[in-house]
Structure 1
Amino acid sequence: MVPNRLQPFSSVYNQTEEGLALGLVQSIWSPTTHSLQVFSEKHFMSKDSRQGGLRKLLDLADELRALRKKIQDPALKNEAVQRLRRRSREKLRHLASELGAFRFRGSLGLVLKKLDPEHFLLLATLLRRYLRSVSPYVEGRALLSAVFETSFELLKGLELLQPESVLRREELVLVDQAEEGTEDSLLEARFRLADAVVEAFLEELGLRSSPKRVARKGYSNHREYLLDLKVLHNLFLTRSQRIFSTDSWWRVRGAAGDRANLALNRRIRAAENRIETRLSKTPGAADFPTQQFFLEFGLGKEEVLVVLHLLFLEFLEGNPYADVVQLIQLISGSEEAILRNRELFLPHSTLRKSGILEVEEMLDGRELTGEAHLADWVIDRMLGTGIRFMPIDADEQLNFHLYLKDLKSSNFLKDL
């Protein structure tokens, strides 16, 4: 993953509307490098020594894109097409040579270190779109057509957009659609350049200083902790919707949809590490009502997710109920985990024995058919907003039973 994502390049235009209109840049400058250069000349000192090499690379990418657009003209004769293809191959070899010889100064070198010329062409195409359009997204079919010429090359080029490709795996290129899977869906999906890659290009031009790693601070209050938990919960929810969507559920095991969650799993781990780090730097973290609740009942990660989902569902949608099967999907990273995580909703589970979770079964003894909700006292305990009646434990129930057994009707008021 490219580290230290900074402020998106598009937001710079919003901050400098009086000094530079984005529409003016789009209407006057067509090559990608000129769009970057306008920003430099208007707002920064000229740094030709740093811009020359990158400009040559991006200009070559623009020339290749223009050649391939001409090749697609159906009116061209075969001789003209062959001539253009020869020029295109020469340009591609030139680009490969320049990429191999160029020494990047900033984090762009880390981005491009393991990439081929085709990867660079794809990034350059997305960069051009990022700079020249309100929407930074490009459809997969149009993106590949700008990089490849023949049908075979287009088909093979789908590898660049697969979830396990270096561009997707390292989150250099982001997909707009949640649906992943077949090659057809990749052609229809929309892709954009990650903001961090744009920042790396700007850094190479001298328009950004090398970003410094920002030290994580502890939580200043319980509310900040809850917001981080909500972000983590939403990542798990997105993963479950991808894995167990109606479109992907009936696919053959091992299809592309299973691999599409690698990047999302990394984001989940990063969010978990961020929360752990911030908690460790928070002196009073153990006093947060939510944290106290988790520790008191010894809840594991999956159990915490179930409780958080029901908490946020009630607060955001006013609905305290969730299908048990959906809760199992939420905490399951694979189909195999479904069977294992069913145990969390059985009567002997921690959530049920402690009285935190109540399950209303549609069919007796069939937990997966039921709906679950939090007990009345749970939300107030987690948020620290008040005290409701806690569940009565077994010892208290026994003592009360013995007390009632010893009561005599004639001395009822006296015994009370």
Structure 2
Amino acid sequence: MVQIYKPKQRQQQSAVQDLSIQDLDLHGQGVGRSQGLVCFVPGALPGEKVRAKLVAKGKLAQGRLQKVLEASPERIAPRCEYVGRCGGCQLQHLERERQLHYKEAALKADLERAGISPAQWAPAIKGPAFGYRRTLRLAIHEGKLGFRAVGSQNIIPISHCAVAEPELSKLLPSLQALLPSLKGQRLLGHLELLHLPPHRAALWRLTGPLPKGDLAKLIHWAEAQQVALFTQQDGIHQHWPQEAVQLGYELDGLEFTVGPADFIQVNGTVNAAMVDQALAWLAPKAEELVLDAYAGLGNFSLPLAKRARAVLAAEGVAAMSERNLANAAANGIANLEARTLDLDDEQAVAALLAQRPDAVLLDPARPGAEALCQALAGKAGQGKAGPSRVLYVSCNPSTWKRDAALLVAGGYSLARLGLMDMFSQTAHVELMALFIREG
């Protein structure tokens, strides 16, 4: 038998270095340089001298903060004792206005390198700096309930959360007391908490049927805490209270019904301001057809339909399209058409644009809207009739930058750009951009 020699995989070298931090990047990491390497150190601030454990890869190095040797005057004490262990908040050591300052500066620098420049920067949309999350997703494993630790799958048990709405945060101690009493803990996938006044809800995602005793304990907890209780295994089931609970929220004078597993924006205050700004920027006219792509349950579709001749709502998940139509009907809106289709499919996208929308609103997930932006740019570049305005709401500056470059190359100009502080205290960067096409 011929033996094939396989060299051992080369291990990455690490070293502890002292370095000065010059900037923050789009991920909220401090950026410095050491021995020809660009170093990224989470938790470090511009103007600081820090000691970090660096792992080099090519010309870059990822660091782990060991000690702040010279602190920035901007550094503040985090409100939460889990900072640095829990992976939820990365920027509590920086005042919220400075968080936004550095996020905008990092985005501007990134766009300048890509040759993209908006005609106008809009002020950031802001809500509460703390206590804003109306949804919480908690991990469960080996008797622990909490958030994932920084850089690992380990769980940090928590008894409160500074960015959660108080009505959700105060449920955590009773949940920590409940968990050890459950025999079927291995069947608990994770837990989602939701606060949509007047209701609080808990959705336990299960990998198998719970023992009857465990379900009785969950129901007892729900009744004691006055929380609507749902489980999801093969479908979603409500266990308490006995009468059906209708979850929802109000926006733009409309009532939205929400299922316990439906996606909604976590920050209700910023969501309302975001919709208001989108309507003002896109400015739909009474005679226009508006395409709402990645429409979800109608967060933008229904407010648009109040102002436009018609709205074509495109979404990849059938249940969300159905929810959108049901919400429209419940609010007396008859000028909304919902289609379920793959928005990464070129033919499906071409069929949408063949309806000749006058304006387009894009609100994609993190992968972005590449196929739609390519199609929009192609129409504009060929001089064909196409939407005169494209409003893009993004939760990922990287894929938005790619899509923005397509639109600009196709003849659109970037008229306005602004941040949205949807996830204060975190490194997340969300933005809204308006593209216009002349002629």
TM-score, length-scaled by structure 2: 0.27
> Greater share of strand residues, 1 or 2?
2
TM-score, length-scaled by structure 1: 0.28
> Greater share of helix residues, 1 or 2?
1
Q: Which of these two proteins has the greater Rg computed from alpha carbons? A: 1
